[in-house]
């Protein structure tokens, strides 16, 4: 299998195909139907992925802030 080989050994075609299917899988995980994915333009995919990644980053930032606040509260009790 090509994806098991080292990165430098990927052909341009393999890299493109791998990138395509990773993107499709990410869109499916978000909850977008296969029929809709097939109709998207490249710009639409870029927009959807960008918004999805921004939302994930926002959630991670909120969790980090919450954890930091919890740690601060614990440290002030000690």
pLDDT tens for each residue of 22-64: 999 999 999 999 999 999 999 999 999 999 999 999 999 999 9
User: Does residue 2 lie within any of the structural domains?
Assistant: no
Number of CB atoms found within 10 A of residue 32's CB: 16
Model-level pTM? 0.69
Give the residue numbers spanning the domain of 22.
11-77
User: Does residue 5 lie within any of the structural domains?
Assistant: no
Query: How far apart are alpha carbons 19 and 13 in whole angstroms?
Result: 10
Count how many domains the chain has: 1
User: Does residue 39 lie within any of the structural domains?
Assistant: yes
User: Does residue 4 lie within any of the structural domains?
Assistant: no
């Amino acid at each position: 299998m090509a994806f098991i080989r080292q990165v430098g050994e990927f052909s341009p075609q393999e890299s493109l195909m791998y990138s395509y299917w990773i993107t499709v899988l990410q869109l499916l995980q978000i909850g977008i139907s296969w029929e809709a994915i097939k109709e998207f333009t490249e710009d639409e995919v870029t927009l959807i992925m960008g918004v999805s990644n921004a939302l994930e980053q926002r959630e991670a930032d909120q969790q980090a802030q919450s954890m930091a606040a919890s740690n601060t509260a614990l440290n002030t009790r000690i």
